[in-house]
Amino acid sequence: MIMKRIFVILIYFMIAAMGFHLNSILTSRDQYKTSTAVYDIASYVKAVRLFYEDFGFYPDGLIDLFVKPSDKNVIVEWPKDGYFRPNVNPHPARPVKDPWNNDYIFEMGINNEIIVSSSHNLSSKNISVEKEAVYKAEAEKYAGMAYRAGLFLGFEIVIILVLIILKSEFIQGRKNQQCESDDYYPILKDILRLSYSDDIPPPMLLHNITTEISRIFPVMRCAVLLIKNAHSAISVASQDNPELREFELNLLNYPELVQMVSTGETLVVDQLDLVTETHMLAGVKELLTEKGIKAILVEPIIHIDRIVGALFIRTCGDKKTFNPEEIELVQLIARATKPVLQNHEKYKELF
């Protein structure tokens, strides 16, 4: 449930960020158009003045700044690229367009005032030609902003798609895990029922619990142990001991039990046949694998802050690993086993 909420929060966050950058693109685009138009207008005014200085008359239209007038006697050498070269070269028969695809308008005002206008109420009447470099820099800045925002937007779309895929896989995985948990539920229910039964003696209850566990995993050995001290333990019950005989274990022969007693934590050894020479079971690996043992799980049974016992499971057959759900199940069974041990006449003094 927590992971699902995390996925949802991340997706909402990325959508919000995507909206922010999309707004940046739209805003930057509009600012870019405005700054570009202002820069163009200022440049057109400058180009018209240069044209007048060379020829002594003003052009009939902005197109004359690009194409040499054919109906006038032009003595001065015509510049190779004309007097102004915008981003898109105009067709001789078509006036130059502004960033909104409208025509730039050129006219002469009172006292030979050069007026160049575009849509969106932009005109040389309220534009300082001296600031054209500033407008050009702003146009380039806004173009860069839009480009960067576009990159972030694309990245965020990819991240959202990845999060959606991961969320789907996570939910499917949780459904699969739920199916497995549903399979274990009847067994766990039986174990809990046994744990609080007053009709069956504790030794038989413990044997029944180990038998129920053997229904979950193919086990070589499943035992309930009582830990006497750091060196010895008592096997109180196991699935292969219907006579309910108890016997003592020397923990020095069981490195995994020594490790569990030392740490007080769940101990899992998957794929026993692959343990390395530095592993705690390296010295007994060959002996264990010859018996067909594939994996080991030791779960402590804790009373207050003391380890009083353990569930000791050694698997066989194809069971080479324990998944997280199986480990959690064994932990629940260990908790359910403690009250049975507490009711055992021989071991009440341990609690």
Angle at which helix 202-216 crosses helix 132-195, to 10 degrees, equals 140
List the structure tokens of 7.
């996925």
pLDDT greater than 60 at residue 24: no
| Bridge partner list, 226 | 234, 309
Token digits of residue 167: 């969320």
Fold that domain 196-350 belongs to in CATH: Beta-Lactamase (3.30.450)
Distance CA 151, CA 145 (A): 10
Highest mean pLDDT among 114-128, 172-186, 190-204: 114-128
> Which architecture characterizes domain 2-145 according to CATH?
2-Layer Sandwich (3.30)
Using the predicted structure, report yes or no on whether residue 175 has a pLDDT greater than 90: no
CATH topology identical between 2-145 and 196-350: no
> DSSP string covering 216-275, please?
HS-EEEEEEEEE-SSSEEEEEEETT-TT---EEEEGGG-HHHHHHHHH-S-EEE--GGG-
Model pLDDT for residues 291-325, shown as the tens digit of each residue = 999 999 999 999 888 899 999 999 999 899 999 88
pLDDT reported for residue 181: 46
- Give residue-wise pLDDT tens across range 281-290: 999 999 999 9
Mean pLDDT rounded to a whole number for the chain: 75
Does the pLDDT value for residue 149 go beyond 80?
Answer: no
Whole-number pLDDT of residue 46: 83
Domain residue ranges in the chain: 2-145, 196-350
Alpha-carbon span 259 to 280, nearest angstrom = 8
Q: Six-digit token pair at 292? A: 């067909």
d(CA 329, CA 200): 23
Confidence of residue 88 (pLDDT cuts 50, 70, 90): very low
Contact 272, 295 (CB under 8 A): yes
Residue 93: per-residue pLDDT: 42
3-class secondary structure per residue, 160-189: HHHHHHHHHHHHHHHHHHHHHHHHHHHHHH
Across 4-13, 170-179, 328-337, least confident range: 170-179
- Highest average pLDDT, of 26-35, 130-139, 153-162, 329-338, comes from 329-338
Residue 25: pLDDT band (50, 70, 90) is: very low
Rounded to a whole number of angstroms, the distance between the first and last alpha carbons of the chain is 37
User: How much is the average pLDDT of 234-249?
Assistant: 90
Q: Choose the weakest-confidence range: 81-90, 192-201, 269-278, 334-343.
A: 81-90
Decide if pLDDT at 2 tops 90. no
Read off the pLDDT band of 102 (50, 70, 90).
confident
Q: Provide mean pLDDT across the span 167-192.
A: 54
